[in-house]
């Protein structure tokens, strides 16, 4: 009878480990889930750091579409919320010489338990064409909406940019997209 305790104990330990694995595996696969609004056109991701990429069709009389990209760089990567908001604001210049920071609207909200910080600023879009390229865009009449979504596995970054009327046309769907975020 004493000899049977060891195999029984080993079987119970092995069974406990096996039953615990699905929960561990599920938690390792947790990610940001969201609902894509109607009318957004999914595009092929141009980088592995892009979780999703969409074209938001232009609204009259704009001549260009807007673009929305959802980024994830990994846990602890991508910079702080404040640094990203500051960088996004610096990508917009004002015709009247006022600092974009003074015109930007920041908002903090919660989406399904996730802390979300958003920015909304219009002006001339002067972001670098590609990181480190030294070449800059010059697109007057643009609007930038962006958000940092804090999750247990690090922050996700959302950037919507395009002509003002087009971004205004898609503003409610942008907000519903942000509100749909959940981490599971």
Token pair for 14: 């092995």
CATH, residue 36: 3.40.1000.10
Task: Provide the domain count of the chain.
Answer: 2
Residues 102 and 12 in one domain: no
Q: What are the pLDDT tens digits along the chain (184 aa)?
A: 555 565 554 454 544 444 444 433 333 456 899 999 999 999 999 889 999 999 999 999 999 999 999 999 999 999 999 999 999 999 999 998 899 999 999 999 999 999 999 999 999 999 998 888 989 999 999 999 999 999 999 999 999 999 999 999 999 999 999 999 999 8
Residues 78 and 20 in one domain: no
Sign of CA dihedral 52, 87, 125, 143: positive
- CA 85 to CA 133: how far, in whole Å? 21
Which range marks the domain in which residue 85 is found?
A: 31-183
User: Quick check: 30 and 152 in contact, CB under 8 A?
Assistant: yes
């Amino acid at each position: 009878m004493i000899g049977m305790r060891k195999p029984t104990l080993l079987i119970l330990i092995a069974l406990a480990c096996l039953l615990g694995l699905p929960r561990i595996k599920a938690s390792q696969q947790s990610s940001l889930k969201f609902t894509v609004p109607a009318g957004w056109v999914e595009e092929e991701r141009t980088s592995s750091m892009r979780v999703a990429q969409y074209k938001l069709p232009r609204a009259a009389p704009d001549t260009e579409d807007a673009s929305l990209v959802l980024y994830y760089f990994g846990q602890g990567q991508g910079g702080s919320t404040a640094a990203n908001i500051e960088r996004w604001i610096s990508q917009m210049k004002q015709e009247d010489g006022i600092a974009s920071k003074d015109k930007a609207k920041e908002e903090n909200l919660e989406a399904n338990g996730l802390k979300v910080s958003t920015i909304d600023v219009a002006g001339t879009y002067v972001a670098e064409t590609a990181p480190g390229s030294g070449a800059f865009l010059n697109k007057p009449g643009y609007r930038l909406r962006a958000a940092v979504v804090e999750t247990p596995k690090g922050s996700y970054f959302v950037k919507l940019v395009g002509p003002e009327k087009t971004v205004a046309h898609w503003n409610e769907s942008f907000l519903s997209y942000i509100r749909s975020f959940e981490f599971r």
